[in-house]
Amino acid sequence: MDYKQQSARGWSNSPAGWTHAEAYAPGTREFFDTVLQKRSTEEMPWLFEVIPFEQARDKKVLELGHGAGYDAYAFCQNGADYTGIDIAPANPPRVVAHLGFYGFNPKVMQGDAEQLMFGDETFDIVFSNGVLHHTPDMGAAFRETNRVLKPGGQFWVIVYHRDSIYHWWSSVFFRYILKGGIFRQSYRDMLSEIESTGDARPLVNVYSRRQMKRHLKDAGFVVDSLKVRKLQCWDIAMPRFMYRWVSRHIPQKWFDRLGRHVGWYVVALAHKPG
């Protein structure tokens, strides 16, 4: 299966965040504002705690997999010299439309994180949020990132966490084993369903903190920090009637504390020596 083609088709047809704004068309201000609000208050309110967007001012930033432009917006707001690539051909014009509503004109283009079209030592910061766990060769993407970073440049990357409640309990045990998915599909197909949109089946990988550290070191990076984030009650598979009780009686701050150990994302901050 050509996983890159699957990703390109899937996210062209259904850009990231579309489930938060199904009433609006991608490319409109209503779509972008609605998803941005949901993302910052419900899905990823912790993002600005772990990613230092404010350090990007006047820096040359490259984002790998800009999607519909939510993090591009944060970089532009903070005064970055922003460039973004995305494998889905429909996403670059969406970002131009979305950020144009706020007076920003980002440099965005279709591209492949495993074969970057930029020269050596071009960028101060490379960033990727929830994207590189979909690429067939993450090691190649990390090596390319190292190549285009200036000495001392920063690499901020977020991927799916293997040792999370969502992976082991909700996906593997509850859906794959308890509900009989193991008799109908492979483990790989089960993971792909996490991101399935229409008939597209993107590749989905999951990584432990130890694996992330090894991948970064193998690509020539020095790892500065590894954190885990993101756990809400709906990440924990349970009978449907229990969700309302849990959401009413268990504070989100309790989930946040647990999410620092078994949340759905690994957040790595690293730098290129020199």
Percent of the chain clearing pLDDT 70 (strictly above): 99
77 pLDDT tier (thresholds 50, 70, 90): very high
Tell me the C-alpha distance between 249 and 140, whole Å: 45
What is the per-residue pLDDT across 84-104, written as a single tens digit (0 to 9) for each?
999 999 999 999 999 999 999
Per-residue pLDDT band for 135 (boundaries 50, 70, 90) equals very high
Q: How many domains are contained in the chain?
A: 1
- For residue 91, the model assigns a pLDDT of 96
pLDDT higher at 21 or 229: 229
Helices (H) and strands (E) in the chain, counts: 11, 7
CATH code at 222? 3.40.50.150
Range of the domain at 81: 3-271
Judge whether residue 240 has pLDDT over 90. Answer: no
Mean pLDDT, to the nearest integer, of 130-153? 97
Predicted pLDDT of residue 134: 95
| Torsion over CA: 176, 181, 187, 188 (sign) | negative
Contact between 17 and 35 under an 8 Å Cβ cutoff? The reply is yes
